[in-house]
Chains A and B, each alone.
Chain A
Amino acid sequence: AQSVAQPEDQVNVAEGNPLTVKCTYSVSGNPYLFWYVQYPNRGLQFLLKYITGDNLVKGSYGFEAEFNKSQTSFHLKKPSALVSDSALYFCAVTLGGGYQKVTFGTGTKLQVIP
């Protein structure tokens, strides 16, 4: 069975500082990995994905994520946090190919402090 772990319920960071939101995964096979963001009373919005290739993927709003196969991690990063980045962030995993089930983590609330 595949699973995703987001070990931090909440991450606090000062505006302008770098941020990291952690994600580890477990899947039998090659993973497709995703990050989504959810603002209050809104649906989830796609940020970025890793399927294959370069381990560092860049996405929307200046976010990037690094795939580390040996550590089975896919941490979300941003060099300089904005107050508007405050939201709920979800990591997700699926097996590549076909129409596979997508498993989401429990989410990490990011609070950027002015």
Chain B
Amino acid sequence: EAGVAQSPRYKIIEKRQSVAFWCNPISGHATLYWYQQILGQGPKLLIQFQNNGVVDDSQLPKDRFSAERLKGVDSTLKIQPAKLEDSAVYLCASTRPGTGGGEAFFGQGTRLTVV
């Protein structure tokens, strides 16, 4: 089966600019996650979707980050305006139904550098 697709792979922006990331999960995977992985740290969950509904966005900085998953398939994550501390790899993951949220398939990530 095709894996989780993410684009772009790399992005460099100046602080206060906006940026958007795209994710296409594995077909049939209802649950989609966005993680932020800062260098030297483990992935931190930003938002979890079940189909097109939000299950958990408690760690999403809502003043600058937004995400949507229209039609319960593709998802976009947006940052506006970006700060230097947003430099990280943004990982998208999806899970099959019934796996309890853990056995996830990850995309290669988008490496964001804010200068």
Contacts and interface: CB of A to CB of B under 8 A. Distances in A.
Contacts, number: 67
B91 interface: yes
A100 B106 CA distance: 17
B4 A100 contact: no
Given A101-B56, A104-B43, A41 B102 contact: no
A90 B35 CA distance: 14
Given A44-B43, A44-B91, A102 B104 contact: yes
Contacts of B102: 32-34, 49, 92, 94, 102
Given A99-B50, A104-B43, A106-B42, A46 B104 contact: yes
B79 to A, nearest CB: 20
Interface in A58-114: 90, 92, 94, 96-107
Interface string B90-105: 0101000000111111
A45 B3 CA distance: 11
Interface string A26-46: 000000111010000111111
Interface in B66-115: 91, 93, 100-109
Contacts of A90: 42-43
B24 interface: no
Nearest to B6: A43
Interface of B: 4, 31, 33, 35, 40-45, 48, 50, 55-56, 91, 93, 100-109
Interface of A: 4, 32-34, 36, 41-46, 49, 51, 90, 92, 94, 96-107
Given A43-B4, A43-B109, 12 more contacts: A33-B102, A36-B106, A43-B106, A44-B43, A44-B93, A44-B104, A99-B55, A100-B100, A101-B56, A102-B104, A104-B35, A105-B42
